């Protein structure tokens, strides 16, 4: 019959414990008795903020998702106190034996009354939906603290672990083990105390057989070997899990990682964890020994009780300086009460939600290890807006989260006395676990703006926090709630609050720019954000998808200038990257850019797009320069304008100015892979080859996964006559992208110079054959003929490139690969036709 996965419905072998396709835990159908006619009931409506469940629990927010189901923070209206409410997944609740087991275990778990254990209440049912109520502990879970700190100090680690041991010792004394101990189930409350949560799947040590044999319960990264084998467990399984948590606290990651839960679980059985001291030399040798002893595969070799482990930790703690043992208490930071009135609709904000951020901030500050202060950038105020975190129930608002952050960057860039790193740099930290000071140091800013979004249907909750990089203190934090129709007003409120918190005096029309709206149509705005989300991926299919969204946005609001600007950018990149012929792409781009400027002549982005079209396609370099200069005047902090202007200057032979502009672009967008690589490219055109290599080496070190660095280095090595290194660089670039270099004209050119003439001619023949059905730059083919010394063929393809308005024509004045042709009058004539020579 097989085992069907409850998540992806893949048919697995009968003895499977995890799905072979997606890794989801599988409970044998033999262990679960479900009547053939029985249906799995779920709440008739998705629980949203403000809704009341079971006639008693008013939902405040989603706290997260666990193996058993979704967890909410709710107000128990009957008792007038907050609780955590966990909905049990239908596939689990469908088994009556499982529910009976949980009910019995909860009765035991409720006996645990200890300061380091969150209280469990009861298992209940509402119209077919089963749920567990438990104590709500405001604060931050240990997982979040580890992510923000990267590594905890030995003193902080021991302080937390001792308290966890105390809570476990009490539970074990009563005959209860946790079986799913992990950082997500350890809360740091507002007093800085550790609290073990979620004993809802605990089991009694005395009551054998309560849990069906062969059923695995737990989280693979923290499971003991006996749990992986679905064997009998005892308190030593919790000791093993705590050992994994200790490892993660001092190292910053779990000891065993893998692509699927199954692969991780198998490592718990078969692999020995690496000695923590090899990864973090700052921890005491004794602590490393304790961690490894906790994680012994044979439970007889582990600590046999939580009290035994706690005693060992106390002994180690005595050798740690007093200042490192406890984190000093800091004065709580309070948020001002939010009162926002909108003409569209008044927002109703539950009084309880305001406290959440405050508590989290206090706990973080109490527990974060002290670091030396990062020197603040001199001169102007500086702030980086990081991508917002998607906390929505369905986790489907990535485009909206990115859009909010990008919009704030665009708005703040309009302020002359504020330095704001561009999107590419700020978004480079997305999904990475770095602390505040490290991010601030990399971006060279004084402050970070971090935020999150929860969106359920039309309801919004936006949380923002302004953090001071030097000491990690939050300068300001707020939580806003409302409907989608209130979103524009929320954006204005947030933008003004940031500037107010930074104590920046707005000059002239800066306030108007800061809160300027390009549309009042929320549907059009939503579509525009989706367009930019796909545009930023820069692949052919995503660019085409972005065009669809921009066009839909324009249909919703024909006066939406930003949507026309996005359309121009999409067609421009399609043409620039030769995804479609330039003769098809650039006219469409120009039409869209001109329409954007007709609607709003102050739109710097549209002026930049138009400048690029005038430069790269129409070769009207004088008008292009004026457009670039106007764009920079309108928005001095717009990195893209400086970036593209640098190439115009380089193409005209004004290398010193070009270098200054590209360096300015990098200053504004320091972690943009393309801008960093193009610093080297601009130097290459200026014939400063050694300096170009230095810059490209730096860029490669920061962005080893970006092929452009290897391509640019290959070009520099070629001009230095280091052909083997050039070929190696290009081949490495192709490895990074997973592409073949067979149709690379540049690689064929390098072969032609390096004496591998036959290989170059073979590749060139393949490229020309390919070009009969697909667009290939004629200028790039001409370059190969230059390398082969066949001047007549080179000029044939150069003229063909001119007739097709090849995008690479604009480099002919400065491209060193064409130096052998410069003495030929035909080359000078071609430069004049393009407008590069008078």
Distance CA 690, CA 355 (A): 56
What is residue 413's predicted lDDT score, i.e. its pLDDT?
83
Q: What is the 3 state secondary structure string of 684-720?
A: HHCCCHHHHHHHHHHHHHHCCCCHHHHHHHHHHHHHC
Following DSSP, what letter does each residue of 575-589 receive, concatenated?
HHTTSS-HHHHHHHH
Judged by average pLDDT, the poorest of 165-174, 223-232, 576-585, 812-821 is 576-585
Neighbouring C-beta atoms of residue 428, cutoff 10 Å: 22
Distance CA 82, CA 352 (A): 9
| Domain 539-834 annotated CATH 1.10.760.10 | no
Model confidence at 465: pLDDT above 80: yes
Query: Percent helix, strand, coil in the chain (nearest 5)?
Result: 50, 10, 35
Q: Model confidence over 94-113: pLDDT tens digits? A: 767 767 777 777 777 777 87
What is residue 218's predicted lDDT score, i.e. its pLDDT?
67
Residue environment code for 25-47, b if the CB has 16+ CB neighbours within 10 A, otherwise e: bbbeeeebeeeeeeeeeebeeeb
What is residue 833's predicted lDDT score, i.e. its pLDDT?
95
Q: Model confidence over 691-748: pLDDT tens digits? A: 999 999 999 988 888 899 999 999 999 999 999 999 999 999 898 888 888 889 999 9
Common-topology check for domains 47-135 and 139-325: no
Greater confidence (1 vs 512) lies with 512
Dihedral pair phi/psi, residue 331, rounded to 5°:
-65, 130
**By CB neighbour count within 10 A (0-12 exposed, 13-18 middle, 19+ buried), where does 823 fall?**
exposed
Neighbouring C-beta atoms of residue 384, cutoff 10 Å: 28
What is residue 8's predicted lDDT score, i.e. its pLDDT?
54
3-state class (DSSP) for residue 385:
strand
Distance CA 152, CA 154 (A): 6
Q: Model confidence over 136-152: pLDDT tens digits? A: 888 888 988 887 777 88
Judged by average pLDDT, the poorest of 299-303, 444-448, 590-594 is 444-448
Helix (H) / strand (E) element for 568: namely helix 561-576
Model confidence at 650: pLDDT above 50: yes
Distance CA 453, CA 397 (A): 8
What is the average per-residue pLDDT within 638-666? Answer: 95
What is residue 299's predicted lDDT score, i.e. its pLDDT?
93
Judged by average pLDDT, the poorest of 23-37, 206-220, 749-763 is 23-37
Residue environment code for 316-351, b if the CB has 16+ CB neighbours within 10 A, otherwise e: bbeebeeebeebeeeeeeebeeeebebeeeebebee
Give the up-direction half-sphere exposure of residue 324: CA atoms within 13 A in the CB hemisphere. Answer: 16
What is residue 825's predicted lDDT score, i.e. its pLDDT?
95
What is residue 207's predicted lDDT score, i.e. its pLDDT?
42
What is the average per-residue pLDDT within 600-622? Answer: 92
Q: What is the 3 state secondary structure string of 399-431?
A: HHHHHHHHHHHHHHCCCCCEECCCHHHHHHHCC
What is residue 1's predicted lDDT score, i.e. its pLDDT?
44
What is residue 380's predicted lDDT score, i.e. its pLDDT?
55
Judged by average pLDDT, the poorest of 405-419, 635-649, 791-805 is 405-419
Residues serving a catalytic function are 180
| pLDDT > 90 in the chain, percent | 39
**Residue position matching structure tokens 């009969």:** 772
Question: Which two tokens mark 439?
Answer: 């991010």
Distance CA 211, CA 102 (A): 9
Question: Which two tokens mark 823?
Answer: 């003495």
Judged by average pLDDT, the poorest of 286-295, 364-373, 478-487 is 364-373
What is residue 394's predicted lDDT score, i.e. its pLDDT?
75
Distance CA 116, CA 167 (A): 5
| Domain 370-514 annotated CATH 2.40.50.100 | no
Give the residue extent of every domain in the chain: 47-135, 139-325, 370-514, 539-834
Q: What is the dihedral angle through the alpha carbons of 685, 619, 538, 541, rounded to the nearest 10 degrees?
A: -140
What is residue 201's predicted lDDT score, i.e. its pLDDT?
55
Average pLDDT, the chain: 81
Model confidence at 327: pLDDT above 70: no
Superfamily of the domain at 47-135: Phosphorylase Kinase; domain 1 (3.30.200.20)
Question: Which two tokens mark 443?
Answer: 């971006």
Question: Which two tokens mark 452?
Answer: 């999150």
What is residue 6's predicted lDDT score, i.e. its pLDDT?
56
Greater confidence (222 vs 189) lies with 222
What is residue 35's predicted lDDT score, i.e. its pLDDT?
33
* Reported confidence tier of residue 339, pLDDT bands at 50, 70, 90: very low
Distance CA 591, CA 487 (A): 31
Closest by CA to 594, choosing from 573, 615, 614, 620, is 614
DSSP state of 289: H
Model confidence at 466: pLDDT above 60: yes
| Domain 139-325 annotated CATH 1.10.510.10 | yes
Collect all residues with Cβ–Cβ distance below 8 Å to 166 and sequence separation of at least 6.
Answer: 114, 115, 116, 306, 310
First to last CA, the chain: 81
Q: How many helices (H) and strands (E) does the chain have?
A: 34, 19
| pLDDT > 70 in the chain, percent | 83
What is residue 240's predicted lDDT score, i.e. its pLDDT?
96
What is residue 321's predicted lDDT score, i.e. its pLDDT?
62
Model confidence at 198: pLDDT above 60: yes
Angular region, 692: left φ>0, alpha ψ -120 to 50, beta rest: alpha
Judged by average pLDDT, the poorest of 139-153, 323-337, 658-672, 779-793 is 323-337
Model confidence at 366: pLDDT above 70: no
* Reported confidence tier of residue 773, pLDDT bands at 50, 70, 90: confident
Greater confidence (540 vs 437) lies with 540
């Amino acid at each position: 019959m097989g085992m069907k996965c409850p998540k992806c419905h893949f048919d697995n072998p009968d003895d499977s414990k995890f799905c072979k396709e997606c890794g989801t835990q599988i409970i044998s159908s033999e262990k679960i008795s479900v009547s053939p006619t029985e249906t799995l009931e779920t709440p008739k409506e998705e629980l949203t903020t403000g809704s009341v469940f079971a006639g008693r629990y008013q939902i405040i927010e989603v706290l997260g998702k666990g193996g058993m189901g979704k967890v909410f923070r709710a107000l128990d209206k009957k008792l007038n106190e907050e609780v955590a409410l966990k909905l049990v997944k239908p596939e689990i609740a469908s088994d009556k034996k499982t529910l009976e087991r949980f009910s019995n275990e909860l009765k035991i778990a409720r006996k645990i009354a200890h300061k380091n254990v969150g209280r469990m209440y009861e298992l209940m049912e509402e119209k077919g939906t089963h749920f567990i109520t438990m104590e709500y502990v405001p604060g931050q879970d240990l997982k979040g603290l580890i992510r923000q700190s990267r590594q905890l100090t030995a003193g902080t680690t021991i302080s937390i672990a001792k308290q966890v041991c105390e809570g476990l010792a009490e539970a074990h004394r009563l005959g209860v083990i946790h079986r799913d101990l992990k950082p997500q189930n350890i809360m740091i409350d507002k007093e800085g105390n550790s609290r073990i949560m979620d004993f809802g799947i605990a089991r009694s040590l005395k009551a054998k057989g309560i849990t069906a044999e062969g059923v695995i319960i737990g989280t693979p990264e923290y499971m003991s070997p006996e749990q992986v084998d679905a064997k009998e467990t005892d308190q030593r399984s919790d000791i093993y899990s705590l050992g994994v948590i200790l490892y993660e606290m001092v190292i910053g990651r779990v000891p065993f990682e893998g692509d699927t839960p199954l692969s991780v679980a198998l490592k718990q059985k078969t692999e020995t964890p690496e000695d923590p001291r090899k990864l973090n030399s700052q921890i005491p040798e004794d602590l490393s020994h304790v961690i490894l002893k906790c994680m012994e595969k044979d439970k007889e070799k582990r600590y046999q009780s939580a009290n035994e482990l706690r005693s060992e930790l106390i002994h180690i703690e005595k050798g740690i300086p007093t200042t490192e043992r406890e984190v000093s208490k800091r004065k709580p930071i309070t948020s001002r009460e939010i009162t926002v009135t909108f003409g569209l609709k008044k927002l109703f904000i539950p009084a309880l939600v305001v406290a959440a951020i405050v508590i989290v901030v206090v706990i973080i500050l109490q527990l974060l290890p002290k670091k030396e202060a990062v020197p603040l950038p001199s001169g102007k105020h500086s702030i980086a807006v990081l991508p917002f975190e998607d906390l929505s129930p369905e986790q489907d608002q990535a485009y909206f989260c990115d859009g909010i952050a990008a919009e704030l960057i665009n708005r703040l860039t309009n302020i002359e006395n504020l330095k704001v790193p561009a999107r590419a740099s700020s978004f480079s930290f997305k999904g990475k676990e770095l602390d505040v000071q490290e991010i601030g140091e990399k971006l060279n800013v004084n402050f970070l703006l971090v935020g999150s979004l929860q969106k359920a249907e039309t309801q919004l909750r936006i949380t923002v926090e302004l953090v001071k990089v030097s000491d990690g203190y939050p300068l300001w934090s707020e939580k806003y709630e409302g409907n989608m129709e209130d979103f524009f007003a929320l954006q204005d409120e947030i933008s003004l609050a940031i500037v107010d918190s930074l104590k920046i005096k707005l000059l002239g029309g800066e306030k108007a720019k800061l809160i300027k709206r390009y549309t009042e149509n929320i549907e059009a705005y939503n579509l525009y954000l989706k367009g930019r989300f796909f545009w930023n991926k820069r692949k052919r299919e995503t660019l085409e998808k972005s065009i669809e969204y921009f066009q839909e946005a324009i249909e919703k609001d024909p006066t939406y200038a930003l949507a026309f600007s996005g359309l121009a950018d999409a067609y421009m990149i399609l043409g620039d990257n030769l995804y479609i012929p330039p003769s098809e792409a650039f006219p469409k781009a120009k039409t869209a850019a001109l329409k954007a400027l007709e609607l709003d002549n102050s739109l710097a982005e549209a002026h930049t797009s138009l400048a690029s079209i005038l430069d790269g396609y129409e070769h009207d370099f004088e008008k292009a320069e004026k457009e670039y200069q106007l764009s920079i005047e309108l928005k001095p902090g717009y990195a893209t304008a400086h970036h593209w202007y640098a190439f115009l200057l380089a193409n005209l032979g004004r290398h010193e100015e070009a270098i200054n502009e590209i360096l300015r672009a990098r200053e504004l967008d320091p972690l943009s892979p393309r801008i960093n690589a193009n610093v080297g490219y601009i130097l290459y055109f200026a014939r400063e080859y050694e300096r170009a290599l230095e810059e490209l080496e730096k860029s490669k070190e920061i962005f080893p996964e970006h092929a452009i660095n290897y391509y640019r280095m290959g070009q520099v090595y070629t001009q230095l006559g280091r052909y083997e290194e050039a070929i190696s660089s290009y081949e490495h670039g192709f490895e990074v992208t997973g592409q073949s270099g067979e149709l690379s004209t540049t690689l064929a050119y390098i072969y032609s110079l390096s004496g591998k003439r036959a290989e170059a001619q073979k590749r060139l023949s393949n490229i020309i054959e390919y070009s009969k059905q697909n667009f290939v730059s004629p200028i790039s083919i001409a370059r190969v003929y230059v390398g082969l010394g066949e001047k007549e063929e080179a000029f044939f393809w150069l003229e063909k490139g001119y007739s097709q308005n090849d995008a690479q024509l604009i480099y002919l004045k400065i491209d060193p690969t064409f130096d052998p042709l410069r003495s030929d009058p035909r080359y000078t004539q071609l430069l004049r036709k393009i407008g590069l020579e008078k």
